[in-house]
Structure 1
């Protein structure tokens, strides 16, 4: 049996369990993992480090209270959830201070506005379905799709890898695989 090594970034489920069990270690790791993104958000939008600490602390309290109610469901990545809360809190604080901020600078890999949370969660759900469909696809289709769409390999490279007589035959096979993938995706 392999010994599992704890990564520096705790899994979302590990954090939720840690909060339920009042783990100070998990709260510390939560701070180390997610505070830097909140600090960057606040510093980039008329705030300072103390503001960021306040906002982050408020978001942790909100998360803690939601988890402790017992009916908390995480429908996105925890990172996205925390960022959304912090962004909303910071916008409220700026508004209360009457600072005119027309464009809060966001990181491209986070939600641009909290209203997009549902759309983001739907995309996460669809990506999970696609991942499942890709796993069900089987070989050689799974590898062909991954090589072409994820590894950006040419049809000629795929042709040579799988021993097709020419790139057109590989393209036909890719098309058939894509149709099977679509079928599996829409059945889910």
Structure 2
């Protein structure tokens, strides 16, 4: 198998390259924090899981000669998620029905899951690229409605009627979906 260019992250951890370690924190800490907060955790839990996962990945690279054949991000996110699921199981908050292997048993399932994350990121990229094609008013309406705020309040903030907002949102979504479908053909 070919080594992925993201192997540089593992090399950076092994060499204690502060620039690469900082990049890992900047790129991934927010995603881990969000995941853990959404799954019964606290900010402290997120910080602990993130730090422990970095140490686990470092140990894998140093003592088990871990070589990345997939992007670092989905691999690292999966390590953090598995570690958090094991923590939840230990705390007894939620039964985990699937037996989770230890990090040291990194198998094909990890790489398959990492590949799925890569595909999801590609879909997100497609969505964002097509979103940018929309007009400014459509982008503003869709961004506003995605915040979860009441649509009546959004309509008031945008200076439009509630009925107009709903109709325009529907039209904008239809346009966006048509852009996305045209790219998938």
| TM-score between the two structures when normalised by the length of structure 2 | 0.51
**1:2-27: CA deviation from partner (whole Å, max 9, x where unpaired):** xxxxxxxxxxx89837948x954249
Does 1:121 pair with 2:118?
yes
Tell me the secondary structure at the aligned position of residue 171 of structure 1: helix
Q: Which residue in 2 is equivalent to 1:37?
A: 49
Unaligned runs of 5+ in 1: 1-12, 42-51, 67-71, 88-100, 107-112
Contact 2:70/2:114, CA 8 A, preserved across alignment: no
* 1:104-119 matched pairs, under 5 angstroms: 104=100, 114=110, 115-119=112-116
Richer in helix (by share): 2
Equivalent pairs counted in the alignment come to: 137
Q: Which residue in 2 is equivalent to 1:5?
A: none
Tell me the secondary structure at the aligned position of residue 100 of structure 2: coil
Shift, 1:40, TM fit:
5.0
Q: Which has the higher contact order (CA 8 A, sep 6+)?
A: 2
**1:39-66: CA deviation from partner (whole Å, max 9, x where unpaired):** 757xxxxxxxxxx957641246778744
Kindly name which structure, 1 or 2, has the bigger radius of gyration based on alpha carbons.
1
Q: Which residue in 1 is equivalent to 2:157?
A: 161
Q: Give, in whole Å, the separation in 1 of the partners of 2:126 and 2:163.
A: 29
CA-atom RMSD, angstroms?
4.5
Shift, 1:159, TM fit:
2.2
